[in-house]
Structure 1
């Protein structure tokens, strides 16, 4: 069974914020200190799953992704993988799960994670405007939509019988599960596994088709409406596709 590291940092928060939201912002210095407590071998293990139960703006998820990419790149270099950077990014994303009760937080966290991926690719000299990378970026976007999701943290790790009681530990949690129902996180059904299962059935996931169409339209026609689920990636991709040589894609 894959190892699952639940990243539960003691947030700085008021009693009212705990009651209402269950989480608030954690300063970067505490994030880095806490992540440094994990065993080094976990970061380089392709089978370790990292779960962020309250992703917020991504100030914990982004450092997790960064550490994973660096460690996995070293791992794949030792394994003599032909494209260690691409494999490291794909593996790091596919083993990262994050939830948040606020849809705006989810959008922002996805944006920051995608921005980090693009910046890392550019820094490592990867040419993004190729057919091969178009498919790769489509999978990156799909993984972020699939695995960074609006959900209630406590109930997402619970069975259906215990989910309502777990969600009710916060006011908004109780409201959320009443409106959306129980949505358990299935770590075994990551984006890669889902896509492979679909491929075996000779089917293409709708999410992949839409993300691919979004990328194509953005590249050829500029900004388009009707792809709200991928809005988090639009401004970053516009920099990738605008042909500018004076700035790095994904860097504001």
Structure 2
């Protein structure tokens, strides 16, 4: 049986090897106004200005995390997304998930569900207006929310996500978003941002997912970034990248504020 160390090395080689080791220090492509941040254990909250219950979004960082990576809450990329949402009146939560190997997905899923519960219990949050925004390898965690969405979940977003495990990953069938499309009764709308210069094996999975969603009539909004790489929102400081991030944000805001 492969050891956790072996799983970590293999997962890293499949998801992060094409990025610089200092990816987490790379600036976000937009420059939102900084927001106040509260730290509650493993969760950072980005607070919008003003009073009253606000819609909320959980930002789900990528993974499995490479060895030596700092706390994702310290990555400039995710800090940028948190501030970007707060700037639009949304309370954003950024949890640190225990996601270091594919075998950590059940623990990460439990932690994510706990973060959603923390948000819904916060008096500053409208408990019936929440969304989740996934990035990269955390896309596998989408499966639970597609298969059995709670009534308060207004929408999902996923940016350059992994939508099925890569070959050789020891992942339970629970974490196969592509399979979850067949099992979902009435899944929430999904905003899917896809990089045109994605790695071929990930791009093939995304193509299969979007084709399956179209056949089944699942609500998916595609935001295309034709010249973007995996991690374009930090790696490719272009107008195309900036427009894609804004479009995905605005699509999610529309879902959060719909009657």
Q: TM-score range by the shorter chain?
A: 0.3 to 0.5
When the two structures are superposed, what TM-score results if normalisation uses the length of structure 2?
Answer: 0.35
Give the TM-score, by structure 1 length. Answer: 0.35
Please identify which structure carries the higher helix content: 1
Larger Rg: 1
